[in-house]
Amino acid sequence: MGVCTKGISAICTGYETTFGETFYDNNNRGFPSLQLCHLHWSKQNQSLIFVFLSSRCDRQGDHQEESSELVAIGKEIIKKCGGSPLAALALGGAMNSRSTEKEWVEVQRSDLWSLPEENDIMRVLRLSYSCLSPTLKQCFGFCAIFPKDEEIMKQDLIHLWIANGFISSRLNLEVEEVGDMVWNELCQKSFFQYVRSDDSSGNIYFKMHDLVHDLAQSVSEQECIYLESEKQSLGDFSRNLHHIGFSALNRSQLKKRDLEKVESLRTLYKLNIDQPTPTNHSLRVLCIYRGKKPSFGSLTCLRYLELCDLDNIKSLPPSICNLRKLEILKLIALWRLHDLPKQLTKMQNLRHLIIEACTSLSSMFPDAHKLRDLRTLSKYIVKSEKGHSLTELRDLNLGGRLNISGLGNVGSISEAEDANLKGKQDLRELILSWSNSGWRKSVVGAEEVLEALQPHSTLKLLTIHAYEGLHWPTWMGNNSATNNLISLHFYDCQNCHLPPVGKLPCLKKLVVSGMDDVQYIDEDESYDNVEATPLFRSLEELEVHKLPNMERLLKRETTHMLLSLSYLYINNCPKLQLPCLPSVKKLHVRECSNEQLKSISNLNGLNDLDLHGSDQVLCFPEGMRDNMTSLATLEIYSFRELKELPSDITKLTALSHLTINDCGKLECLPEQGWEGLSSLRELSIEFCESLRSLPDGVRHLTSLQSLTINSCPVLKKRCEEGTGEDWHKIAHVPHIRLR
């Protein structure tokens, strides 16, 4: 039998299931999901799964007699699912809230089972949809604006629901919390399929099964559409059209006047037109990708505005400040945007101001404290001018991500304390940067400022950038303020060593970059008795960049070090040598040195090896690939002085993917041993101009499915079909790309 978790269940009865993915209920409790593909069930197993899914694990006081009656009804209902796991899960999720025999009989006898021109699965999905509340129906139908197989971010969808008025606050719940509840319920009922989550940002991504997407299109009755083709006309759709999603990759041929004819239009999502902004007064959501500089004067009902990749924008039009009802403003990849309008605080309803990849932005708007409803302010630039100090953040109940730069402009310790970061318990990610401080000499020392910027203990990700102090604050490392950190980044902190973060119990990712004095990641003298208390016990990912004096990962190397580490990224650390790290599965090295190449054999558990070379490497050392019995992917880039590969590369018997790129002086590949690469499925050779032929042993690569030869002029000619001298060596490969 399987494991029951409150909210939904799964059962294993004689076939294979996968419990590798996790959903979350309203209390952030995780539960597993079944893999919805190619399951062959017996009738009995279908019944067991359906009944198990349909029962509520937290239901109390039910009588055994009632349960057995439900089992009997459930067996009859499951016969109508056509053997589909998707149908069983969807219907089971819908039945989860129905506990009486009468309610189950209503489902069993529903007229929806007799719908003409519907297959069994679609009937079940439509029946599951009919069991939803009006709010859930509206929120689900709206998802027809997305293309099939789209990976959707949960937060983005909730923001779109909010802007369209589908959900609102309830009692002591804010509207975003209600959105979480709605999304979780649709997920639990299998209308959404969890894909992945980002530990650092907290973002959750999901998809809809193709059949579920078909259902969304059907039930939305042309109120919500996705325009995939550039040539589709709005005249083909109903005058009741409310919401349109576009392909961001294609420039739409729709004219502004065509859009303005649809008087009921509420949403234009990922609009990409080279024309003036539509002026539909009814618009609530406008998302523009790669269009002209927009104007907003007539869009008085707008609640959601997203501008993305508009590279001609240096400033936003003043008319944006007249969008008094705007709740969500997203500025994404506006590379030339220099500042924000000074009157932005006129938007008194603004809840989320999200600014990402606007690298030229050097000034915010003044008096941010006036935006009392603000819940997300992803970027804030401190300046010495009035209205731009840290004090503006004091009373804002901010969550999510907050990037504060210009900390060299802080005028006093009390100003830093006024930011009240310690009281912002909903913040998940915090970036503290001394960049954007201009040439003005700091009035307050960086150490005093950072001491006063202690975050709340719920923080998950912390980044410190361009810190100018010599010492770290008392709250860093050995304090409850950082005990819940899962990701910690240090960039260009040139005046100091690393703080004592090796004992943080939850730390999964550590990034250290541009710190010339760092020799080890455990430099702090407070570390003692390492054998008794292993450092970095939860660390899974480690990145070290531009550390010219780093010699070893840990000062005190032991046989029990970094036991959880699975990913290691090294960039331009010429002195670093690798110890024995059997847990590491992925290693990426940029600016490889000969010393690092020699030490790679210490990582005998590698599955994935990505090497970017330097002009100093003339050949790979012998024995570098010793012990790499599990290596499946090998990528070799930019070894521009390399003339040949070592012969023992053909001893990597588990290798399935091999890439050789930008090795301009490489003249030949090993002649012998290719028959040993029996698992090789993909071979890619690009920008290797001196490579003149393929070895004869390539004929023995019987598992090879894909061969790419790009920008290798001599080799390309030899591999051309029919006429090339090497064609007979590769004729058996199904997919060949010569460019």
Please report where in the chains the tokens 């040439």 appear, as a residue.
439
pLDDT class of 95 with cuts at 50, 70, 90: low
Answer whether residue 484 shows pLDDT above 80: yes
Answer whether residue 16 shows pLDDT above 60: no
Q: What is the pLDDT of residue 447?
A: 95
Answer whether residue 36 shows pLDDT above 70: no
Please report where in the chains the tokens 């369209």 appear, as a residue.
164
Q: Tell me the CA distances in angstroms from 348 to 164, 351, 371, 442, one per residue in order.
A: 18, 9, 6, 33
Q: What is the pLDDT of residue 238?
A: 63
Which has the minimum average pLDDT: 446-460, 592-606, 619-633? 619-633
Average pLDDT, the chain: 83
The whole-model pTM stands at 0.85
Which has the minimum average pLDDT: 95-104, 193-202, 328-337, 514-523? 95-104
Length of the chain: 739
Task: Quote the CA–CA distance of 504 and 461 in Å, as a whole number.
Answer: 13
List pLDDT tens digits, range 116-150: 656 667 777 888 888 889 999 999 999 999 999 99
Measure the CA dihedral 447/449/452/457, to 10°.
-80
Answer whether residue 38 shows pLDDT above 50: no
Task: Quote the CA–CA distance of 357 and 379 in Å, as a whole number.
Answer: 10
CB atoms within 10 A of CB 674: 22
Q: What is the pLDDT of residue 178?
A: 97
Answer whether residue 304 shows pLDDT above 80: yes
pLDDT class of 257 with cuts at 50, 70, 90: confident
Q: What is the pLDDT of residue 24?
A: 39
Asked if 590 and 559 count as a contact pair (C-beta separation under 8 A), the reply is: no
Mean pLDDT of 505-534: 81
Answer whether residue 65 shows pLDDT above 90: no
Give 70's contacts (C-beta < 8 A, 6+ positions apart). Answer: 51, 54, 55, 101, 104
Using CB atoms within 10 Å of the CB of residue 22, give its burial: 0 to 12 exposed, 13 to 18 middle, 19+ buried: middle
What one-character-per-residue DSSP string does 344-395 give? GGG-TT--EEEEES-TT--B--S-GGG-TT--EE-EEE--SSTT-SGGGGTT
Q: What is the pLDDT of residue 81?
A: 66
Q: What is the pLDDT of residue 8?
A: 35
List pLDDT tens digits, range 412-441: 999 999 999 999 999 999 999 998 766 666
Task: Quote the CA–CA distance of 186 and 188 in Å, as a whole number.
Answer: 5
Amino acid residing at 713: P
Q: What is the pLDDT of residue 258?
A: 74
Q: Which of 33-42, 269-278, 384-393, 531-540 has the highest mean pLDDT?
A: 384-393
Which has the minimum average pLDDT: 134-148, 196-210, 540-554, 693-707? 196-210
What one-character-per-residue DSSP string does 636-663 give? EE--TT--B--GGGGG-TT--EEEEES-
Of the options 3.40.640.10, 3.40.50.300, 3.80.10.10, 3.30.390.10, the CATH number for the domain spanning 600-739: 3.80.10.10
For the chain, the domains span 1-131, 600-739
List pLDDT tens digits, range 472-482: 999 997 678 89
List pLDDT tens digits, range 670-719: 988 898 899 999 999 999 999 999 999 999 999 999 999 999 999 999 99
Give 438's contacts (C-beta < 8 A, 6+ positions apart). Answer: 406, 408, 409
pLDDT class of 516 with cuts at 50, 70, 90: very high
Which candidate, 446, 444, 439, places its Cα nearest to that of 469? 446
List pLDDT tens digits, range 488-499: 999 999 999 999
List pLDDT tens digits, range 165-194: 999 999 889 999 999 999 999 998 889 988
430: left (phi over 0), alpha (psi -120 to 50) or beta: beta
Answer whether residue 260 shows pLDDT above 70: yes
3-class DSSP string for 484-519: CCCEEEEECCCCCCCCCCCCCCCCCEEEEECCCCCC
